[in-house]
């Protein structure tokens, strides 16, 4: 028979172990809850993706598991080192990332002095993208830093023309993202649809297109649905986000995403729409599921 003190010690140890186990398993429990839920089949008119960086505190493997259960077919903005994880869950990467320690949103194609090293870097990324069987590789204009918009456009076209033939050969699209310079990315040059469209025309290749970020362009110019209808042949990909704040795309923000998705679908778009909002709620995967359901027209 155990002594009273020994019994108390065992109870204390068991309680401590249970607390530690609960803390370590909290994320796994949320993921498993989403895995075990029986979701209705998505309607198939929108191809759904999600940007991995918005869920950076969730291990990629867990995000892939939950995304598959929700009905997504892609994880956006992965580096080549992460391709195998996505493929393990039969997920594509509808938009491959391109940011590293040297190249970023602020340092891009609008500076002639960047072109030689950027071409080397992008040829490598084009190879990795093609090898994985993926299609879209993101790119950025860079910040103005005193460069006027016409010169920035000419510089971007000059550099991108040097690499686009390689992308064509590998069946990879280079896709420049439209971002707002008013709130999130001060001084970014590709901050209006018309500028991006003019760049597409200057390059003159079906392998160069735009990423129309709905959140960013609502901030910069509004008139989202009319812009989609007018310029949709130039758009290879779409991102979402609640305005203002870039959070959930529900009734707490000003955009009505079902109507936007309907407009995208009516253009005949066959690419992907990726959720790129930063969840405010504790259960981030529930917010992701909700966003997909809102967009699943």
Position 207 in a domain: yes
CATH number at residue 116: 3.20.20.150
For the cut 60, the answer to whether the pLDDT of residue 250 exceeds it is yes
Residue of 106, 99, 110, 202 lying closest to 159 (CA atoms): 110
H or E element at residue 96: none
| pLDDT recorded at residue 261 | 98
Position 3 in a domain: no
Overall number of domains in the chain: 1
Tens-place pLDDT, residues 113-163: 999 999 999 999 999 999 999 999 999 999 999 999 999 999 999 999 999
Position 101 in a domain: yes
Position 111 in a domain: yes
Query: What proportion of the chain, given as a percentage, has pLDDT over 90?
Result: 86
Of the pLDDT bands very low, low, confident and very high (cuts 50, 70, 90), residue 41 is confident
| Whole-angstrom distance, CA of residue 114 vs CA of residue 123 | 14
More confident residue, 9 or 66: 66
As a 3-state breakdown, the chain gives helix, strand, coil percent values, each rounded to 5, of 50, 10, 35
DSSP 92: B
Whole-prediction pTM value? 0.87
Position 33 in a domain: no
Judged by phi (left if over 0) then psi (alpha if -120 to 50, else beta), residue 140 lies in beta
For the cut 60, the answer to whether the pLDDT of residue 12 exceeds it is no
Place of tokens 């020994």: 6
Position 19 in a domain: no
The residue-averaged pLDDT of 169-198 equals 98
Position 23 in a domain: no
For the cut 80, the answer to whether the pLDDT of residue 281 exceeds it is yes
For the cut 80, the answer to whether the pLDDT of residue 23 exceeds it is no
- Joined together, the tokens standing for residue 97 give 């990332």
The residue-averaged pLDDT of 5-19 equals 45
- Joined together, the tokens standing for residue 241 give 């986000």
Domain span at 81:
43-295
Position 223 in a domain: yes
| pLDDT recorded at residue 69 | 97
| pLDDT recorded at residue 240 | 98
Q: Which is it for strands 74-76 and 136-139: parallel, antiparallel or unpaired?
A: unpaired
Helical packing angle, 149-169 and 193-203, nearest 10°: 50
Mean pLDDT lowest for which of 37-41, 93-97, 194-198, 268-272?
37-41
Query: What phi and psi, each to the nearest 5 degrees, are found at residue 276?
Result: -130, 45
């Amino acid at each position: 028979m155990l002594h009273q003190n020994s019994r108390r010690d065992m109870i204390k140890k068991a309680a401590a172990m249970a607390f530690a186990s609960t803390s370590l398993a909290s994320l796994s429990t949320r993921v498993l809850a989403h895995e075990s839920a029986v979701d209705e089949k998505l309607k198939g008119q929108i191809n759904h993706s999600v940007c991995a960086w918005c869920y950076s505190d969730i291990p990629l493997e867990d995000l892939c598991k939950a995304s598959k259960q929700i009905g997504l077919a892609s994880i956006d903005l992965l580096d080549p080192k992460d391709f195998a994880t996505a493929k393990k869950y039969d997920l594509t990467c509808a938009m491959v990332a391109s940011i590293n320690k040297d190249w970023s949103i602020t340092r891009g194609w609008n500076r002639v002095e960047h072109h030689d090293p950027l071409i080397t870097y992008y040829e490598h990324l084009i190879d990795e993208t093609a090898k994985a069987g993926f299609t879209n590789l993101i790119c950025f204009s860079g910040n103005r830093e005193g460069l006027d918009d016409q010169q920035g456009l000419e510089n971007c076209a000059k550099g991108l023309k040097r690499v686009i033939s390689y992308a064509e050969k590998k069946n990879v699209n280079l896709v420049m993202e439209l971002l707002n310079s008013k709130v999130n990315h001060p001084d970014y040059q590709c901050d209006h649809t018309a500028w991006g469209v003019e760049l597409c025309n200057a390059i003159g290749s079906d392998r160069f297109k735009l990423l129309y970020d709905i959140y960013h362009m609502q901030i910069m110019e509004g008139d989202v649905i009319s812009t989609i209808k007018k310029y949709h042949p130039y758009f290879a990909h779409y991102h979402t986000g609640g305005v203002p704040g870039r959070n959930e795309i529900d009734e707490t923000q000003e955009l009505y995403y079902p109507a936007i998705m309907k407009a995208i679908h009516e253009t005949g778009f066959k690419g992907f729409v990726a959720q790129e909002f930063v969840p405010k709620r504790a259960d981030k995967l529930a917010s992701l599921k909700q966003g997909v359901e809102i967009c699943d027209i």
